Amino acid sequence: MASSPGSNGKYNGKVNGKIVSLNLGSTNPGNINLEVEIAGIKFKNPVIAASGTYGFGREFAEFIDLGRLGGIAVKGLTLKPRKGNRPPRIAETPAGILNSIGLQNPGVEGFINDELPFLRKCNTAIIANIAGSTVEEYCELAEILSGTDVDAIELNVSCPNVKEGCLAFGNTVKGISGITREVRRYCKKPLIVKLTPNVTDISEIARAAEINGADAISLINTITGMAIDVHKKKPILANNFGGLSGPAVKPIAVKMTYDVAQTVKIPVIGMGGISSGEDAIEFILAGACAVMVGTWNFVYPDACVKVLEGIIKYLGIYNHKSVYDLVGKLELN
Amino acid sequence: MPLVLKEEIIFNKELVPGIFELAFISEYVSQRAKPGQFVNIKCCDGLDTILRRPLSICSVNRKNNTVIVAYRETGKGTRYLARKKAGDKLDLIGPLGNWFHVSDEYKSIAVVGGGIGVFPLLFLLQQNPCAFKGAYIGFESNTCIVMEKEFLHCSDKIMLATNDGSKGFKGFVTDLLALNLLQEGSKGKINGEKYDIIYACGPMPMMKKVFELASKMGIKCQVSLEQRMGCGIGACLACACKVKHDGDWHYKRVCKDGPVFWGEEVDFDG
């Protein structure tokens, strides 16, 4: 695809040497159905801002209309406010970044009082991402948030940057089974379980989440990594280790999305290094019915909208009427 | 409100080895930028170094919409930037961050800059109409001095220090500041230079010293902090700095809550 949409919403470009022209309109042009349904929630389109990269949306509202997004997964919430890790918290690596923020957040009450009212006005689905250091904390968070008007809860059992809990619940079949089962009892909202890639076989983890009550799976969280300042002979991150994200992880994420989509029947939300509509389409072909855009939001604050426009363009060019025309429609060689 | 912009580079020249001055045309940035703010530049067109590099605005010409930033080539990102030429497009977001506090009540101001920390202070001096402006600038040595002429041009008094004494005062710029602020009178009374506010930008130990000197003299002090940034717009929480808060402390965002902070807020050892 050699061109981009002009200001009039018309796309003129070449696909495989063929000149195509189509009207993109604003959000949902022509007769393309962008809507996807996950655990009973209708997302107006398949592009969701990934947790931890979008704060609570406010900073991005300065750049784009948040109502254009399919949804927003908010910064990981804990019961009590968390200060987060010492800086430096970020290191750039080839085609990616390592982060170790350490779940800095205002706590669930702070979120409900100060952030949720703003988000609710944005006309997009809101996913509350929760993290704890004990099963009880997760359950309490799920219970509290079930009493609010968030649309879904995303279980963060995959954050590599906190000392206790979190990842420890997500990297074994036993751990994920237990926490999903327990949280399910308290969670009255659709429950999305976000998986870590730091496991031997992600399919069995996904299967365990499904069996124990997950309504959907999102993947991948960051891959644990390390970057070293050779002059100081020390890690760049104050926390020594961090989570790798960005375009560098995309092939890993696509493969894992494929593996998981082959294994579970519940909807899969794919993410990892998406920076364009075509990247998103890879995940959709691999079996995801929606995608999350993360790190690229740091580079372009309008990244989610650009990814959405790219998806629309692709659907138009190949004459697909719905996102579902493509979900899992990968043909292996 | 900042925007994602593509602006044309006018020049990108090496001032002294490793330090570059880059000028671009941007009506949007030039008409809105305030001293202390920065622009966040995508240095690499591809996926190699994906994060933007935050560069302080060094000077703005509102008549011809020119914006000048300066930077040191320190790694991959700035190496990409150093290769850009006049006529190339610069992918940037800005102006971002908060700005230095200015007030009609400040009749006399001083800026204290160390190394590449001098750049945002130049913009401040240029835009500030106050009665007396003192500039203290420090560099490692004679060969690293940049923008001395520009500082001369927009200040009433310039004091220059080099660590090795190859030009100006020998020692840290903070030693030079101390000498001038703390000149002792006959009864130990302080009769050195009087400032209503001191603005500092440079290495953390330098800013700490400036703040200590300023508080000793009862002078207000603002510092411009630096930290590794992710998004530059306040979302990712990567660029945390430790700030005192109600007897406790918390992390604020250098990019959004800063980069300018009041000296007394900052935990310089955090």
Give the start-to-end residue ranges of the domains of chain A.
1-30, 41-323
- Could you tell me which CATH class the domain B225-270 is placed in? mainly beta
pLDDT of residue A20 exceeding 70 = no
Chain A residues with beta carbon closer than 8 angstroms to that of B227:
87-88
d(CA B154, CA B134) in angstroms, rounded, equals 9
Element (H, E) at B181: helix B173-181
pLDDT digits (tens, 9 = 90+) for A210-268: 999 999 999 999 999 999 999 999 999 999 999 999 999 999 999 999 999 999 999 99
Whether residues B228 and A55 touch (CB distance < 8 A) is answered with no
ipTM of the complex: 0.93
Whether residues A63 and B251 touch (CB distance < 8 A) is answered with no
Residues near A16 by Cβ (< 8 Å), separated by ≥ 6? none
Superfamily of domain covering A41-323: Aldolase class I (3.20.20.70)
Q: In the predicted model, what is the mean pLDDT of residues A99-107?
A: 96
Residue in B51, B233, B235 nearest the CB of A97: B51
| Known catalytic membership, residue A139 | no
Chain A residues with beta carbon closer than 8 angstroms to that of B4:
63, 300-302
Q: Which two tokens stand for residue B135?
A: 């500039």
CATH architecture assigned to B3-96: Beta Barrel (2.40)
| Chain A: closest CA distance from residue B146 (Å) | 26
Is the bond preceding A220 in cis, omega lying within 30 degrees of 0?
A: yes
pLDDT of residue A10 exceeding 60 = no
Whether residues B235 and A298 touch (CB distance < 8 A) is answered with yes
Q: Which of A159, A166, A289, A304 is catalytic?
A: A159
d(CA A141, CA A45) in angstroms, rounded, equals 27
In chain B, which stretches have pLDDT less than 50? 185-191
- Percentage, residues of chain B above pLDDT 90: 87
pLDDT digits (tens, 9 = 90+) for B169-194: 999 999 999 998 876 544 443 446 78
User: A with B: how many residue pairs have Cβ under 8 Å apart?
Assistant: 104
For the domain covering B108-219, report its CATH number: 3.40.50.80
Q: Give residue B189's pLDDT.
A: 37
Delimit the domains of chain B by residue range. Answer: 3-96, 108-219, 225-270
Q: Which two tokens stand for residue B167?
A: 């030009």
Alpha helices (H) in A71-134, listed in sequence order: 107-110, 116-120
| Chain A: closest CA distance from residue B234 (Å) | 6
Does A111 touch chain B if contact means CB atoms closer than 8 Å? no
Q: Give residue A31's pLDDT.
A: 83
Chain B residues with beta carbon closer than 8 angstroms to that of A58:
234
Residue in A52, A87, A246 nearest the CB of B227: A87
**pTM of the entire predicted model:** 0.92
